[in-house]
A and B are shown apart, each in its own frame.
Chain A
């Protein structure tokens, strides 16, 4: 079974803190993604990576950065957390073929107070 593991299910952070969300996949997938999910807005793509050290901005990259030093690990960084970044964060991975299929982690519910 493909497994995508996110480091935390629930996280509470203070405004201004630097926050790291970690994601690890065990299927040697080339592509990895970070989305945030908010009611009525669906999943919005923050960043994606198609190879080690390669990244591209998605639709809402402001306030976020990412790191992919190893193929299996993709980290999302909130440089200075703000209350409007309170959300459900979902990590996904997919193989580099067409069509492809995304496998998701269980999500991290982040609350910034």
Chain B
């Protein structure tokens, strides 16, 4: 059983569509992070959310941390082909003990 459950596992959409992916846990986190990984590369941090209910925007990407700090969502508006990649959420019981979800593999078709 993974500490962080991500859904959906795969998502394929057309350019211009909106989408939301989810990261859920039964544990409370002091912070959650979202990373994006492109083929052949390591994951790269997109955002860190810290406060319950927090919303952060990164251009067309909107990240939300649940009020209870157990879950998070990533919403992409008007997806572009450059958004294609593996989206991972991460958190951990201690700052130096980080766990990752299995990820959502997003494909945006032209």
Contacts and interface: CB of A to CB of B under 8 A. Distances in A.
Interface of A: 4, 30-31, 33, 35, 40-45, 48, 50, 56, 58-59, 90, 92, 94, 96-107
B42 A94 contact: no
B97 A56 contact: yes
B102 A41 contact: yes
B99 A45 contact: yes
Interface of B: 2, 6, 9, 30-31, 33, 35, 40-45, 48, 50, 88, 90, 95-103
Given A98-B30, A99-B30, A102-B98, 17 more contacts: A4-B42, A31-B95, A42-B6, A42-B101, A42-B103, A44-B100, A45-B99, A50-B96, A92-B42, A92-B98, A100-B95, A100-B96, A101-B48, A102-B33, A105-B42, A106-B41, A107-B41
A38 B17 CA distance: 29
B42 A107 contact: yes
Contact of A101 (B30, B33, B101): B33
Nearest to A38: B102
A104 B38 CA distance: 12
